[in-house]
Structure 1
Amino acid sequence: MAKNTEIELKLLLSKEDLERLLTLDFMVQAVREGSRKVRHLVSTYYDTQELTLKEHGIAYRVRDKGDGSFEATVKTQKQSAGGLSERLELNLPLAEAQPVLDGFAALGLGFELSELAPCGVQALFTVDVQRITYILDYAGAVCELAIDKGAIRCGEKSDSIDEVEIELLEGEVQALLELKERIAAAVTLRAEERSKFARGLALLQG
């Protein structure tokens, strides 16, 4: 797995199936003891009025991580199928929840966002979720299971979020796919092909 590459599954489950998922024998065995965390995350997505960053395949957000720390993130879509997505993800620590456009070239983007947005960016929409996470040790891989509940808000419009993400932190992608198959054999799930960014853009555009 290449450095700075995010590989994750995004899944939709009913409340009942989610509760059942956490009690399945193989999931109970995989959850690392003491790894459960609960956080309140508020992420604001930014772009130019013309959506220049989007036109270059870039999603840019600033996140309040709920623990007094802040982070700017650039994601570039690589591929997505069956709920499995792979993309470049670059994170830049911030002193406050304000957009910073320079600093990503050195992280691996190859250029600065300010080159695409010389006049700055504006807020598009906000994603506000409670995230519960667990670390999973499964088939030689390390994954993070994240349960997100909340909403995407764009002006007076909103769209609820109720989804599960499983991100591969270490190991081979085959372990992640095997885990998905075992989950699918035990509970009813649907793959969520749309990112939160794509869902937010849908609200923004109508």
Structure 2
Amino acid sequence: MGLELEFKYALTGPGQLEELRQELEKAFGPWEAVEMETVYYDTPDQALAARHWTLRVRQENGRPVLTVKTPGPGRARGEWELPGGGLADLSQLQALGAPWEVTSLQPDQLLPRCGARFRRLRLLACLPDAVAELALDQGVLTGGGRDLPFWELEAERKGGSGEALAQWCRSLSEAWHLQEETRSKFARAASLIKT
């Protein structure tokens, strides 16, 4: 199983995002911009959401990426990705270790539930004892015919110590007075349907 370890912080708006962009660029180098458009899928009876599983197809600068996420130990989540994949390719994720309950689904058994459109700035940061992808996201979550703007910082471990990344994130959040975002983009977008 691929394990994702990620720390996420809500930002107050575009001003704070821009200030962080400048500071982090000074420390780690230039950002890469990626336009993201995500659709989250589930069965009509929401069997995936009931298990806290996420199935999405995300366009990254126009290229699809099929992803399944499941709860994992502590902060970690199970994550399986297939670049270039769409719903018709779900079975290919089984070879990567994704749960068969998801990989055996057919596209006609799935419905779009909610989504997100955002611009991501990302860079690879070499921290003391860890390597992380830092991302600054700005866009909208969509669900139930409603949009919710968001701004956030993500730090995802790509190598090294999870504790070292956690410590770096704690220091950054204290220095910038950042609020941890405990809900995923999917959870926040899905909540738009219910309210």
Task: Provide TM-score, normalisation by structure 2.
Answer: 0.87
Which residue number corresponds to residue 183 of structure 1? Answer: 172
Report the residue type matching 1:49 in the other structure.
Answer: P
Which residue number corresponds to residue 83 of structure 2? Answer: 93
Determine helix, strand or coil for the equivalent of 1:204: helix
Which residue number corresponds to residue 129 of structure 1? Answer: 118
Two-structure CA RMSD over aligned residues (Å): 2.3
Task: Answer with 86-95 or 98-107: which moved more.
Answer: 98-107
Report the residue type matching 2:81 in the other structure.
Answer: N
Report the residue type matching 2:57 in the other structure.
Answer: V
- Structure 2: distance between partners of 1:93 and 1:18: 28
Report the residue type matching 1:10 in the other structure.
Answer: K
Report the residue type matching 2:59 in the other structure.
Answer: D
The structural deviation recorded for 1:22 is 4.4
- Residues 173 and 42 of structure 1, relative CA distance in 2, 3 Å threshold: same
Q: Which residues of structure 1 form unaligned runs of 5+?
A: none
Greater helix proportion: 2
Q: Deviations over 1:129-149 (max 9, x none)?
A: 000112111002111110100
Q: How does 1:112-151 map to 2 (within 5 A)?
A: 112-113=101-102, 115=104, 120-151=109-140
Which residue number corresponds to residue 12 of structure 1? Answer: 10
Q: Deviations over 1:42-93 (max 9, x none)?
A: 0100011110112233100001111x4211100002256xxxx310110013
- Indicate yes or no: 2:67 matched with 1:73: yes
Which residue number corresponds to residue 55 of structure 2? Answer: 60
**What percentage of residue pairs aligned between the two structures are identical?**
29
- Structure 2: distance between partners of 1:21 and 1:134: 13
The structural deviation recorded for 1:119 is 5.0
- Structure 2: distance between partners of 1:182 and 1:94: 37
The structural deviation recorded for 1:28 is 5.5
Q: Which residues of structure 2 form unaligned runs of 5+?
A: none
Report the residue type matching 2:76 in the other structure.
Answer: E
- Structure 1: distance between partners of 2:82 and 2:71: 18
- Residues 154 and 195 of structure 1, relative CA distance in 2, 3 Å threshold: same
- Residues 185 and 115 of structure 1, relative CA distance in 2, 3 Å threshold: closer
Corresponding pairs, count:
194
The structural deviation recorded for 1:204 is 1.8
